[in-house]
Amino acid sequence: MDQNSDLEMLMALYQQGDITAATALIQRLSPQLHRFFTVQFASRGSADDLLQETWLRIHEVRHTYRSGEPVLPWFYAIARHLRVDHYRKASRAAAREEPLDDVSEVAAALPSRSGETPDLEALLAPLPASQREVIEMMKIAGMSLEEVARATSSSVGSVKQKAHRAYERLRERLSGMGFGEGRTGGVRDS
């Protein structure tokens, strides 16, 4: 049995009140969903909170899942909506906060990671949110183009375009760091 049909079977059992199926879903999908939130937010606490909110929301709306439909896009659509809501709330709160004058001093005091391979969060951070989200769903969660399109309420063509643009930006960024095919050893002409 493949992963998707296994997840769909667990979800059908969960809808019928099977606590073992609910536990299995939580154990299998929580690491993926947590990474989905962690890549977006620097705070592990925010990712933890969003994961908990996601499972609460899934529990509340589990009756809306239609048996036979792919379950991963359904889960990720819920997670995505909660993440957007969280981002909006955080943005409104940040707009009301006083800015710190010495932020650059704090950043300069952080240890440098030069010489190391960049981590995924650092690589994806400069991407626009929509591109980062598509990469996370496709490459971290292992979702298909169709599943990502369904989860993001987009067309498959739009998902392909976002993924392509994200890959191009990532290639440029890695090349600029001295990784990959773009490394020539010299200075490029502009």
What's the pLDDT tens digit per position in 134-188?
Answer: 888 888 788 888 888 888 888 999 999 999 999 999 888 888 887 765 444 444 4
Number of Cα atoms under 13 Å in the Cβ half of residue 27: 7
Amino acid in the structure at residue 179: F
Model pLDDT, residue 44: 81
Angle of the 3-15 helix axis to the 71-96 helix axis, nearest 10: 80
Nearest in space to 4 (alpha carbons), one of 105, 147, 163, 116 = 147
Q: Which residue has the higher pLDDT, 96 or 58?
A: 58
Note whether 1 and 51 are within 8 A (CB): no
Q: Which residue has the higher pLDDT, 116 or 107?
A: 116
Nearest in space to 146 (alpha carbons), one of 79, 78, 76, 51 = 76
Across residues 6-16, what is the average pLDDT?
94
Note whether 32 and 141 are within 8 A (CB): yes
Nearest in space to 165 (alpha carbons), one of 136, 131, 140 = 131
Compute the residue count for the chain: 190
Residue 75 — pLDDT band, cuts 50, 70, 90? very high
Indicate if the pLDDT at residue 74 is higher than 90.
yes
DSSP state at residue 112 = P
Tokens 């690589």 belong to: 123
Model pLDDT, residue 105: 44
CA 176, 119, 3 angle in degrees (round to 5)?
120
Amino acid in the structure at residue 178: G
Tell me the pLDDT tens digit for each residue of 17-71: 999 999 999 999 999 999 888 887 657 888 899 999 999 999 999 999 998 888 9
Residue 92 falls in which region: left (phi positive, over 0), alpha (psi -120 to 50) or beta? alpha
Nearest in space to 34 (alpha carbons), one of 18, 19, 22, 52 = 52
Model pLDDT, residue 95: 67
Indicate if the pLDDT at residue 102 is higher than 50.
no
Structure tokens at 142: 């292992």
